[in-house]
C-alpha cells in the first residue's frame, strides 16, 4: 500500500462535453471560407477547452465537435508526467483554450517508389494523431509503380505494381480510411498525370504519347523494358519519356473511370491531380498530337497542358469533388480554374537552376487569389547532418511580405510534409519522418502568441525532445534529435518500460507555483517536467 501526504489532491473525475453529437461521417478540412478568428467551420471545428480544477479533483474537457474532442484528448494525454520518484503520475492544474492556426496540416506518403506495408501506414496515422495533423495525402502512382488493385482495370495491379504482394486492395484502403477517420484524419488520393506515366504505359499503351516518332505500342514496350532502370532511384527522376496523350479521347475515358473508382473508395471532398514535371519532348515528336494541336488552334504546348488540366478538373467536378495540383502549370502561366488548391514545392534550396525562394512563388499565386499549401520547407526525405528540424520549425507559411494577415489567412491554408520514396521504405520511413514532422506540426497548429516559447531554441529543443520520448513510449521508432536519453522509458526491450511504477497509478493534482498564461497555451507538444 502506498502512503501519501494528507495535503495532496487527486484527480477523481473527468467530464466530457461535445456540443454536436451528430458528427460528420468523415473529417474534412474547410476549404472555401475562413475567418481571422477561427480555422474551422461549425461542422469541422477542432477547437477545445480543458480545465483541471484542484478544489474538487475534476477535469472538464469540452469541444464543439468530435474532431475537436480528438484533439483535446491528445492534449490531455500529454499533460501527464511522472514525479521525481517515478512512483506517481502528476498533472498540473491548468486551463487550456486551444484551436489550430492552419486548417490544412498534412503529410504526403509516396507508395509508388517503394511500397509501404499497411502496418507502416497505420503506424504513421498514430503519429499524425499524436501531432494533431489532419490530412494524409497519398501519392499512389508514379513512373515506378501503381500499386492499386482496381476492380475496373485488374491489369493495373497485375502489370503496374512491383509484384502481386505490393498492392493495396479495396479492403486495405477502406481500413486505412477507417483508421484515419477514428483519428480525425482525412485521406486525399493523388492520381498524378500527365507525366510520371511509365507504370500507366504498361497497362494503357494506347493513351500514351509516342516519343521520337516511335509508335505508341513500341514506346510502351520500351517503357516496360525500362522498368529495370526505373528501379534505380538515382535515375528515376530523369525519365519522362512516357507521358499521357491529351489528344486521345480514350485517355479521358480511362482516367475518368479510374478517378470515379478512387472517388468511391476515398470519401474526400478533394482529389489531387498531380500535374508536375511535364516535359514537352514527347508531345513535340508525336505527329498525332501535332495534328490535334493544329486542328484546335493550339499554338503552344502550354495550351495543350492547359487542355489536359481543364479536362481533368471537369472530371473532378462531375464527381462533386475539387482539385489540388502541384504548382508547375501556374509557373508556365497556365490559367488555374477557380476553386483549385495549388501546392507550392519549389525553392532555391531544392532546385539548383532556380534562384527563387518559396516566398516568391506564394506571393505570385496570391496576386491571382489562389489558395495555397506550402511544402517547400518540409521535404522530409532530404536529410543533412545535425539538427535539421530547426530549419523545418523556422519555416512559417505566412512568413512573406506584400499581403496583410487577413489575406494570408484566407489564401495560405497550411502546409504539408512530403516524404518522397526514392530512398524511403518500411525500414526507415518512421524514423526519417518523426520527430522531424513534429516540428512542422507545431508550426502549423500553434498560434505562437507567447514568442518566448517558440523563438528560444533551448525551450523548443526541450519540448521536442520530450515529445520524441513520448512517441517512443507509445511504440513509435522516432529518431533522436540530439544526444541524451529518455528518462522514464526507452524503446528497448519492451517499447514501454517504466521503472518503480506501481501497477495501479494514482494521479496527483499539482498546483504550479509560477502561473503560466492560460490563453497562450497553444502548443500540441506539452512540456515534460523534470
Distances from the Cα of 279 to the Cα of 196, 211, 231, angstroms: 10, 11, 21
Q: Which three cell numbers stand for residue 449?
A: 502568441
Mean pLDDT of the chain: 86
Lowest mean pLDDT among 382-391, 452-461, 471-480, 508-517: 508-517
491 and 36 in contact (C-beta within 8 Å)? no
pLDDT given at position 38: 46
pLDDT of residue 502 exceeding 50: no
In which region does residue 184 sit, left (phi positive, over 0), alpha (psi from -120 to 50) or beta (all else)?
A: left
In angstroms, the CA 195 to CA 175 distance is 30
pLDDT digits (tens, 9 = 90+) for 462-474: 999 999 999 999 9
Confidence at 81, pLDDT banded by 50, 70, 90? confident
pLDDT digits (tens, 9 = 90+) for 259-305: 999 999 999 999 999 999 999 999 999 999 999 999 999 999 999 99
pLDDT of residue 2 exceeding 50: no
User: What b-and-e string marks burial along 198-237, b requiring 16 or more CB atoms within 10 Å of the CB?
Assistant: bbbbbbbbebbbbbeebebeebbeebeebbeebeeeeebe
168 and 109 in contact (C-beta within 8 Å)? no
In angstroms, the CA 481 to CA 355 distance is 30
pLDDT given at position 510: 67
Task: Compare 309 and 449 and report the one with higher pLDDT.
Answer: 309
pLDDT digits (tens, 9 = 90+) for 138-185: 999 999 999 999 999 999 999 999 999 999 999 999 999 999 999 999
pLDDT given at position 167: 98
In angstroms, the CA 305 to CA 437 distance is 34
- DSSP code of residue 343: E
Confidence at 54, pLDDT banded by 50, 70, 90? confident
pLDDT given at position 27: 84
pLDDT digits (tens, 9 = 90+) for 335-354: 999 999 999 999 998 988 88
Confidence at 29, pLDDT banded by 50, 70, 90? confident
Of 34, 107, 37, 100, the closest CA to residue 71 belongs to: 100
pLDDT given at position 210: 84
Distances from the Cα of 150 to the Cα of 147, 208, 275, angstroms: 9, 20, 22
pLDDT given at position 8: 72
pLDDT given at position 215: 55
pLDDT given at position 92: 84
Confidence at 487, pLDDT banded by 50, 70, 90? confident
Residues in the chain: 530
In angstroms, the CA 235 to CA 473 distance is 39
pLDDT given at position 1: 31
- Walk me through the domains of the chain, giving residue ranges and CATH numbers: 9-100+451-520 (no CATH), 104-445 (3.20.20.80)
User: What b-and-e string marks burial along 163-192, b requiring 16 or more CB atoms within 10 Å of the CB?
Assistant: eeeebbeeebbeebbebbbebbbbbbbbbb
In this prediction, residues 103-112 reach a mean pLDDT of 98
Confidence at 515, pLDDT banded by 50, 70, 90? very low
pLDDT of residue 431 exceeding 80: yes
pLDDT given at position 452: 64
92 and 517 in contact (C-beta within 8 Å)? no
- Contacts made by residues 309-312, CB under 8 angstroms, sequence distance 24+: 309/273, 309/275, 309/334, 309/336, 309/337, 310/337, 311/246, 311/252, 312/193, 312/252, 312/255, 312/273, 312/275
- For the residues of 223-284, what is the DSSP string, one character each? HHHTHHHHTSHHHHTT-----B-TT-HHHHHHHHHHHHHHHHHS--SEEEEE--S---HHHH
pLDDT digits (tens, 9 = 90+) for 202-222: 999 999 998 765 555 555 555
Lowest mean pLDDT among 1-15, 89-103, 273-287, 500-514: 500-514
- Kindly report the pTM of this predicted structure: 0.88
Q: Which three cell numbers stand for residue 242?
A: 512516357
In angstroms, the CA 247 to CA 230 distance is 26
Question: How many other C-beta atoms are found inside a 10 Å radius of the C-beta of residue 509?
Answer: 20
Residue for cell digits 516535359? 279
- DSSP code of residue 208: B
- For the residues of 2-50, what is the DSSP string, one character each? ----TT-EE--EEEEEES-SS--SS-----S---SS-SS-STT---EEE
Residue ranges of E strands in 140-182: none
Amino acid at each position: 500500500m502506498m502512503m501519501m501526504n494528507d495535503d495532496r489532491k487527486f484527480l477523481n473525475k473527468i467530464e466530457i462535453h461535445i456540443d454536436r453529437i451528430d458528427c460528420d461521417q468523415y473529417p474534412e478540412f474547410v476549404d472555401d471560407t475562413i475567418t481571422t478568428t477561427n480555422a474551422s467551420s461549425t461542422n469541422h471545428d477542432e477547437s477545445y477547452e480543458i480545465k483541471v480544477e484542484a478544489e474538487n479533483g475534476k477535469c472538464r474537457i469540452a469541444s464543439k465537435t468530435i474532431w475537436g474532442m480528438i484533439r483535446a484528448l491528445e492534449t490531455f494525454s500529454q499533460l501527464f508526467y511522472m514525479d521525481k520518484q517515478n512512483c506517481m503520475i502528476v498533472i498540473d492544474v491548468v486551463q487550456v483554450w486551444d484551436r489550430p492556426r492552419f486548417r490544412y496540416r498534412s503529410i504526403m506518403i509516396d507508395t509508388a517508389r517503394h511500397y509501404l506495408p499497411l502496418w507502416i501506414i497505420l503506424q504513421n496515422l498514430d503519429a499524425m494523431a499524436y501531432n494533431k495533423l489532419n490530412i494524409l495525402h497519398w501519392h499512389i502512382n508514379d513512373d515506378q509503380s501503381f500499386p492499386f488493385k482496381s476492380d475496373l482495370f485488374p491489369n493495373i495491379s497485375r502489370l503496374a505494381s512491383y509484384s502481386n504482394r505490393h498492392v493495396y486492395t479495396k479492403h486495405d484502403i477502406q481500413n486505412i480510411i477507417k483508421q484515419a477517420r477514428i483519428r480525425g484524419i482525412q485521406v486525399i488520393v493523388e492520381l498524378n498525370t500527365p507525366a510520371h506515366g511509365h507504370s500507366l504505359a504498361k497497362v494503357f499503351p494506347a493513351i500514351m504519347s509516342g516519343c521520337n516518332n516511335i509508335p505508341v505500342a513500341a514506346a510502351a514496350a520500351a517503357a516496360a523494358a525500362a522498368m529495370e532502370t526505373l528501379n534505380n532511384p538515382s535515375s528515376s527522376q530523369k525519365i519522362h519519356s512516357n507521358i499521357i496523350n491529351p489528344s486521345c479521347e480514350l485517355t479521358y475515358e480511362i482516367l475518368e473511370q479510374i478517378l470515379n473508382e478512387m472517388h468511391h473508395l476515398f470519401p474526400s471532398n478533394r482529389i489531387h491531380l498531380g500535374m508536375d514535371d511535364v516535359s514537352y519532348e514527347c508531345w513535340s515528336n508525336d505527329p498525332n498530337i501535332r495534328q490535334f494541336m493544329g486542328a484546335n488552334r493550339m499554338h503552344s504546348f502550354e495550351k495543350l497542358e492547359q487542355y489536359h488540366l481543364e479536362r481533368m478538373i471537369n472530371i473532378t467536378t462531375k464527381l462533386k469533388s475539387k482539385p489540388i495540383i502541384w504548382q508547375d502549370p501556374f509557373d508556365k502561366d497556365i490559367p488555374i480554374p477557380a476553386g483549385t488548391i495549388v501546392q507550392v514545392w519549389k525553392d532555391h534550396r531544392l532546385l539548383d537552376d532556380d534562384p527563387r525562394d518559396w516566398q516568391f512563388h506564394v506571393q505570385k499565386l496570391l496576386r491571382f487569389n489562389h489558395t495555397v499549401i506550402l511544402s517547400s520547407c518540409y521535404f522530409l526525405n532530404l536529410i543533412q547532418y545535425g539538427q535539421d528540424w530547426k530549419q523545418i520549425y523556422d519555416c512559417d507559411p505566412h512568413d512573406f511580405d506584400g499581403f496583410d494577415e487577413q489575406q494570408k489567412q484566407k489564401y495560405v491554408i497550411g502546409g504539408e510534409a512530403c516524404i518522397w520514396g526514392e530512398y524511403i521504405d518500411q525500414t526507415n520511413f518512421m524514423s526519417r519522418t518523426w520527430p522531424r514532422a513534429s516540428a512542422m506540426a507545431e508550426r502549423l497548429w500553434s498560434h505562437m502568441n507567447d514568442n518566448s516559447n517558440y523563438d528560444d531554441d533551448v525551450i523548443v529543443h526541450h519540448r521536442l525532445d520530450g515529445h520524441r520520448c513520448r512517441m517512443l513510449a507509445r511504440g513509435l521508432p522516432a529518431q533522436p534529435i540530439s544526444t541524451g536519453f529518455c528518462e522514464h522509458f526507452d524503446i528497448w526491450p519492451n517499447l514501454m518500460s517504466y521503472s518503480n511504477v506501481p501497477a495501479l497509478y494514482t494521479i496527483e493534482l499539482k498546483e504550479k507555483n509560477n502561473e503560466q498564461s492560460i490563453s497562450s497555451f497553444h502548443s500540441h507538444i506539452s512540456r515534460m517536467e523534470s
